[in-house]
Structures are given as structure tokens and as C-alpha cells.
Structure 1
Amino acid sequence: MFSCTRRTFLQNSALTGASLLLPGLLGGCAVTRSTAVKTLPPDLQSWPLERKIAQMLLLGFPGETLEPDSPIDQAIRRYGAGGVVLFDNNIDLGVTGRNITAPAQLKQLTTALQQASELPLLIAVDQEGGVVARLKDRYGFPATVSAKYLGQQNRLDLTRSSSENLAATLDEYGFNLNLAPVVDLATNPDNPVIAFKERSFSADPALVAAHAAEFIKSHHRHHILTCLKHFPGHGSSRDDSHLGLVDVTRYWHENELQPYRDLISQGLCDMVMTAHTFNTAIDPDHPATLSRATIDGILRKQLGFDGVVVSDDLYMGAIIQHYSYETAVEKAINAGVDLLVVANDKLYSPDIMPRTIELLLNLVQQGRIPRERIEQASRRIIAMKQRLLKPGNTA
């Protein structure tokens, strides 16, 4: 439970959305919700720690509409959530009651979500193309092709035009973040979660990087951020991290880093998603999402990436079967994760926002997470969001 002081702050002083960021409120003066075009405040130093923590969450939620005073409505309006991630129903994974069923319904939902937030809200989706597409043609959206198909054709003009159409659809329906492309190498043709679902362009790292670059540039032309995944490589795995622990120690090869190295060096990396894979050669104790050696050591120091690192869903089997949510959050942030994904699909936690804020406040207070890690993560997230406001971002 919240302490009295923190409960009062989180429920009352937040007013509506990001109003608490305004100097008038911080000085004790009354303010009203602005109807102006959304902007990002220039001075992060004035933000309460609770607000910075809220920006570090990308939340899933049930429902095809944004209901007033629902947990997700409160997460956005009251606490200032950094973003949401939308899904469609997936009977195979036991995921029902989700967010995408038809074009008109989706447009209404994303509009309502963005209007609920006073700061720019990340509205994310996994629209890779082919098998992994939340905006499916059976719902009335344009059909897409898989990364495997594009890699086999190996025509950059085809990848460019296909990605252009995909990105235009996301733009039309209110998304500003695509949790794609997959840059895993298809080194194991029997991989149940990558190769089997045709999510990889190729086993050739240079080909993967080239086609991923076209995918990213097409999205940037529509002012949509992208995300490279799954770091440091899930393509060689023999198992599915949605279901349980995945150990790639015997199979992973350093060339799986090459697409990241190439795309980072080209300035085409908005965000990197970690894999829930375990590799004792890199870290004998933790999967990549919870591994400082992987994130800070390889991605930050070796590859030179200083942008946003996002976790894969913290409720996936590889994590929840071995760690409590509290432990996973602490380890992920200390490892270097900036944005925490909680899909909230198979295990729904309506209180995940206030629960996580309180958890991180306590961890900072106890000295178990340095306050600077929260500051650093929020700076990276806001810097990334700033690019959404710049029409010139058409790399």
C-alpha cells in the first residue's frame, strides 16, 4: 500500500495528466488543463520522481475502448504513463478481450488514448508483417508480408514499398511506435518463435541490416519510431521465451550483434528491445533483460548505443517462472532497461501503474536503485519522444 504522503501525491496533486509539470503547480498556484498543442517541458529537473517513473512504463490493457476512470485511463491521466501497447486477440496464446478488432474501432481508441495524455503518449504495436501482425487483414486492415518473404526476395525496393505501406497504415490509425523490425538472424531454421513464424529476414547479418534499414526509414518518413529486437539475439534459440527459460549458451554467436552494430552506426536505432534469453558466456546469472553485462556492457559500451532500451514483456514465462515482478523490475532497471513493458494480457494487473511507482520509489529510497538511473531513463525517453514532434525526422 502507499504511504499516506505518497498516496495523497499520486491521487490528488497529479490533477489531470502532465499538469503537475507546470511551474504554477510546483509553486503552489492553481493551474488548469491546457488545451494547447502537446509539447515536452524543457526542464526535467522540475519533475517529481513519480512522474519520471510513470514515463518508464509501456502498458497493455484489456478492452476495445478507453473507459473513463478505468485503470488504463487513470494510468494515463492521473499518473502520466509513458505509453501503451495494443494487441489483438490470440486464442493460441490464451489472449482475449484485447484492443484491435476493426479499423473504425481502432482509430477511435488511439485517438482517445492520445487525447487522454497531456504529454505525447507512445502508442505501440507489434506490426512486423506476416504472421506477427496485430492489424490483420481479417479485421479489415491491409495484408502484409513477412520478413522472411522479403529477405528471400532480397529486393530492397520491395522491402521499401512494403514497409512504406505498413508504416502508412500505422500512421493512419494513430500509432507512433512499431515494436519492429526483428533483427534476429535465422540461424536455427527450427526456431519456434523466430524462424518458424517467418520473423527474420535472413541468417546473413548484412542482409538483415540492409532490409531492416529500409523498414526503419519507411517508418521515419511517417514519423513512427521503431525498435530493434531481440537483443543480443534470439534467432539461434531452440525454445520460446514466452513459455519459459531459453538458454542459448551453446548456440549464440557474436555475429548476431552485427545488425545492431550496423544500424546504430547509421543512426537508425530509435530503441532496442532485450531478449529473455540466457547466455552463460555473457552473464552466468541473469537473462539478457536483467543483465548489466549484456545491456551496459555490450549494448552501451561495446556498441555505443545511448538511446532507449525497452524490455520484452516482463510477464513472459522466461521471467515470471523464475523471478517475482518486484525482483524483475529492480534487476532490469539496474541492468540498464529504461522502458518496462507489461503486456497485461494473460495475467492482468489493474493496479500495475501505482504498484510499480510505489515499488520504484521504495527501491530508490532504500538505495537499491540509484536515483540517477530513473533520471537517466526518463531523459532518454523524453529525448526519443522529442523526435516525434520534429517533422524533419525522415531519415
Structure 2
Amino acid sequence: MFGCAGPQLSVEERAFFAEHRPWGFILFGRNIVSLEQVTELCADLRESISRPDAPILIDQEGGRVQRFKPPLVPQYPSGAELGALYLANPEAGLRAAWIMSRLHAFDLLPLGITVDCLPVLDIPAPGGHEVIGSRAYGVTPEVVTAMGTAASAGLKAGGMLPVIKHIPGHGRAGADTHHELPRVDVARAELSARDFAPFKALAGEAMAMSAHVVFTDIDPEHPATTSRKVIEEVIRGEIGFDGLLMSDDVSMNALSGDFVARTGAIFAGGCDVILHCNGVPAEMEAVISVTPVLSGEALRRTQAAMEAFKPADDSNETVLRDEFEALMAAS
């Protein structure tokens, strides 16, 4: 899955996508000028590969990770703000998490965006980098699981799909994976009891995004994204996730080597699809040069993900927005 460089497709990007036919696309703030422009961009991306149902992803969590911003859409609260409401009033917190995701779907689906990369199921721990921080719903498996389940359900009620991230857990990472590779030196038993728990609870979701994090008690050499042991034993085995596993962005500096080496390692580790986000043509050429055609289990999982899309419910947007404002005002 690829990003593109700007708010419109260039001639070169259109030709590249037409030749190589990525499974899907991802949008960032650099791709957003207006709602009308994004609608046209999504249509052009799909037209370039002759697939009107191709998934288009975005990170629209709320808080500091929100690609669409005011005035195009409201500023939504962070996961931590929703989690605080849950601690004060569990019923209100769960309702707010569901409604906020349902509102994301009202915002995004009419533009052609069909997948929102939430919920964040990572559980921050002392010493963890603030790259997760307020994006997390809470600091216990129970809170994160409950809120993540509600958030996922709200997206699906709106006709979209969630991506659980960052499997098998990013909360203990002491570094920002955009810049360096974190190593987590915690016993596997403790990780299983705490960090993996929300992912186990939501293992039935259609899609997940990997963590560029080394878990030294499981595989001291490779981050989860490129670790066959973590993917087979933990993600597929212990957690029980059999959905579509996408890498986190291959261009993050947590990964080592050139883009050919990184891509090869991601597929060798067992990810189904690779995510390249920044739209840099030379990197995209390197990634595609060693990306296999979808087949086998990866093909089965992409097909299952496409079958997981359901029509949106008949929720009233105005009513839900008013209810959400009231819930957050009372928090």
C-alpha cells in the first residue's frame, strides 16, 4: 500500500500505480486541501488501478493524530480523554468511543476513505516514549480493551473498517520508531498478561498494523515487523490474529538497511502487505521491486478483509454529534 506526494496525482504516480497495482493507499495531511479535492483524489487513486473498491486508509484517531483538521472536520478528543471519561463513567466512556468512531465514518466515508487506522491498543508503561502517550485509552488492559472494542464497533457501524495497532504492543517502547529502533527488555510472561491482552480480545478484527519494536525475550534480533518468531508464535499463535497483517511504515528509521532490504525482511517475517507512506518515488520503486504478487494466505486475508465491509447503519449524524458534545462536556 502506497501514499502519494501531494493533493493530486502526478502523471508519474498515475503511471506507477497503473503498472504495479497496489492493494490499497494511505492518505496524510499533505494530501488534504479540501473535501472536494480529497474526494477527487480518492477517485483518481482507484481509477489508476482500475479497482473501484480499493481500500484507502487514513490515521484519524483524534487528539494529536488527526489528519483531517478543523475547519474541514471537528477537532476530536484524544484516546486518553475518552479513557478519562470511561474511568469516571464507564457507560459514558464506551458510548463516546463508539460515537466518535461513527462520526469519523460520517466525515470520511463520503470522501472515499474506507479504513481508519484505529484503535490504538497499546498500553503505555513507565519509561515508554510519548509517541503513544495520550493516544492510548488507558494504562490497563481492561480499559484499553473495552474502549478499543467500542471504537472498532463504531467504525464498522459506519461502513468502514478499523486497523488494530500496533500489534503486539508499542506502549513500552522507549523510543519513537520514526527515528530509532526501541528494545523492550520485559519477560514474555509479563507481555502476555498485559501488553498482548487487548490484541487477543480484538483478534477477530480484519486488519492489524505491526510494531517496529524488538521484544528481546522473544526475538532479540528483529523488530516484530520483521520477526518470523513474533509473527508466527505471538501474533498468529498466542494472540490468535488471522486477519490481514500490514507493516507499519517501511520508511521509519526503526528499520535498518535500504528499502530493498527492509521490504524483503518484512515479507520474510510474515507480514501480508507492506505500507509505504511518504510518496518518495525512488523509495517506492525499491519497495515494489521486491514485493511479491498477492497469493496464498496473504491473498486469502486481503479477500477476507474486503468481505468484512458492511453497509453503514441508519444513525442520525446530527443527533450523534449533539450527544457526543454532551458526553464530552460532562467529562
2:100 and 2:154 in contact (8 A); partners too:
no
Match of 1:74 in 2: 15
Quote the offset at 1:76 in angstroms. Answer: 3.2
Match of 1:289 in 2: 225
- Unmatched tracts of structure 1, length 5 or more: 1-57, 89-97, 362-370
Match of 2:284 in 1: 352
Match of 1:148 in 2: 80
2:311 matched to 1:391?
yes
Q: CA–CA distance in 1 between the matches of 2:7 and 2:311? A: 30
2:60 matched to 1:127?
yes
Within the candidate set 118, 125, 140, 1:187 is matched to 125
Give deviations 1:174-230, integer Å, cap 9, x for gaps: 1111111110002237622011xx100001111111111111111111221111111
Aligned pairs for 1:369-380 (under 5 A) are: 374-380=295-301
Quote the offset at 1:330 in angstroms. Answer: 1.7
Q: CA–CA distance in 1 between the matches of 2:312 and 2:300? A: 21
Match of 1:333 in 2: 267
Quote the offset at 1:63 in angstroms. Answer: 1.3
Quote the offset at 1:360 in angstroms. Answer: 4.1
Letter in 2 for 1:383: A
Quote the offset at 1:379 in angstroms. Answer: 2.2
Match of 1:381 in 2: 302
Match of 2:327 in 1: none
Identity of aligned residues (%): 29
Within the candidate set 254, 262, 269, 2:201 is matched to 262
2:105 matched to 1:167?
yes
Quote the offset at 1:375 in angstroms. Answer: 2.5
Q: CA–CA distance in 2 between the matches of 1:143 and 1:392? A: 23
SS in 1 for 2:260: helix
SS in 1 for 2:47: helix
Quote the offset at 1:351 in angstroms. Answer: 6.6
2:35 matched to 1:103?
yes
2:128 and 2:172 in contact (8 A); partners too:
no
SS in 2 for 1:296: helix
Match of 2:25 in 1: 84
1:168 and 1:222 in contact (8 A); partners too:
yes
SS in 2 for 1:342: coil
Q: CA–CA distance in 2 between the matches of 1:59 and 1:246? A: 25
Quote the offset at 1:358 in angstroms. Answer: 3.5
Letter in 2 for 1:344: N
Letter in 2 for 1:176: T
Q: CA–CA distance in 2 between the matches of 1:260 and 1:237? A: 17
Q: TM-score, normalised by structure 1?
A: 0.72
Shifted more, 207-216 versus 373-382: the winner is: 373-382
Q: CA–CA distance in 2 between the matches of 1:358 and 1:113? A: 20
Q: CA–CA distance in 2 between the matches of 1:393 and 1:83? A: 24
Match of 2:95 in 1: 157
Q: CA–CA distance in 2 between the matches of 1:168 and 1:382? A: 25
Match of 1:47 in 2: none
Q: Which has the larger radius of gyration?
A: 1
1:188 and 1:237 in contact (8 A); partners too:
no
Query: RMSD value over aligned CA atoms?
Result: 2.2
SS in 1 for 2:25: strand
1:313 and 1:342 in contact (8 A); partners too:
yes
Q: CA–CA distance in 1 between the matches of 2:74 and 2:128? A: 29
1:75 and 1:81 in contact (8 A); partners too:
no
Q: CA–CA distance in 2 between the matches of 1:129 and 1:250? A: 30
Letter in 2 for 1:291: S
Match of 1:232 in 2: 168
2:158 and 2:311 in contact (8 A); partners too:
no
Quote the offset at 1:302 in angstroms. Answer: 1.5
Within the candidate set 110, 115, 140, 1:177 is matched to 115
Letter in 1 for 2:18: R
Q: CA–CA distance in 2 between the matches of 1:316 and 1:281? A: 23
Q: TM-score, normalised by structure 2?
A: 0.85
2:159 matched to 1:223?
yes
Match of 1:241 in 2: 177
Q: CA–CA distance in 2 between the matches of 1:128 and 1:81? A: 24
